[in-house]
A and B are shown apart, each in its own frame.
Chain A
Amino acid sequence: MSLFTKFASLAQVRASLSEAGVNPVGVPIEKVLSPTRGMIGGREVILAGTNNYLGLTFDPACIEASRAAALACGTGTTGSRMANGTYAGHLALERAIAEFFDVAHAIVFTTGYQANVGTIATLAGPGEVLLLDADSHASIYDAAKLSGAEVYRFKHNDPDDLSRRLGRLAGRAADTLVVVEGIYSMLGDRSPLAEIVAVTREQGAWLLVDEAHSMGVLGAGGRGLAEEVGVEAQIDFITGTFSKSLGAIGGYCVSRHPELELVRAAARAYVFTASPTPATIASTHKALETIRQRPALREQLWCNARRMYAGVKALGLRVGPEPSPVVATLFDDRQQALAAWRELLARGVYVNLVVPPAAPLSLLRCSLSAAHSEQQVDAMIEAYAQMAAALHIGSSARTVAASAARA
Chain B
Amino acid sequence: MVDSGNITTVLMDLIQPFAGEGPSITIDADLVDELGLTSLQVMEFIETVEDRYDISYPLNELADVRTLRDLSRGIERQLRQ
B-side interface mostly: helix
State which of A134, A164, A356 has its C-beta within 8 Å of the C-beta of B38.
A356
A-side interface mostly: mixed
Contact A152 B59 (CB under 8 A): yes
Contact A360 B60 (CB under 8 A): no
Residues 308-366 of A at the B interface (beta carbon under 8 Å): 356-357, 360
Q: Which of B7-15, B17-25, B50-58, B69-77 contacts A (4 or more CB under 8 A)?
A: B50-58
Contact with B along A159-196 (1 / 0, CB 8 A): 00000110011000000000000000000000000000
Chain A hits for B34, CB < 8 A: none
A153 is an interface residue with CB less than 8 A from chain B? yes
State which of A151, A155, A169 has its C-beta within 8 Å of the C-beta of B59.
A151
Residues 108-157 of A at the B interface (beta carbon under 8 Å): 134, 144-145, 149-153, 155
Beyond A134-B43, A357-B38, is A151–B56 a contact (Cβ under 8 Å)? no
Q: Bin the interface of chain B by size.
A: 10 to 19
State which of B39, B40, B50, B58 has its C-beta within 8 Å of the C-beta of A151.
B58
Chain A hits for B57, CB < 8 A: 152
Beyond A168-B54, A168-B55, A356-B38, is A145–B60 a contact (Cβ under 8 Å)? yes
CA distance A168 to B79 in the complex (A): 12
Q: Bin the interface of chain A by size.
A: 10 to 19
Contact A153 B38 (CB under 8 A): no
State which of B40, B47, B50 has its C-beta within 8 Å of the C-beta of A360.
B40
Chain B hits for A155, CB < 8 A: 47
A332 to chain B, nearest CB (A): 16
CA distance A169 to B57 in the complex (A): 10
Chain A hits for B60, CB < 8 A: 144-145, 149-151
27 A-B Cβ contacts within 8 A? A134-B47, A144-B59, A144-B60, A149-B60, A150-B56, A150-B58, A150-B60, A152-B56, A152-B57, A152-B58, A152-B59, A153-B43, A153-B47, A153-B59, A155-B47, A164-B51, A165-B50, A165-B56, A168-B54, A168-B55, A168-B56, A169-B56, A356-B38, A357-B38, A357-B39, A360-B38, A360-B40
**A residues bordering B, Cβ < 8 Å?**
134, 144-145, 149-153, 155, 164-165, 168-169, 356-357, 360
Shortest Cβ-Cβ A-B pairs, 4 listed: A150-B58, A151-B59, A168-B56, A360-B40
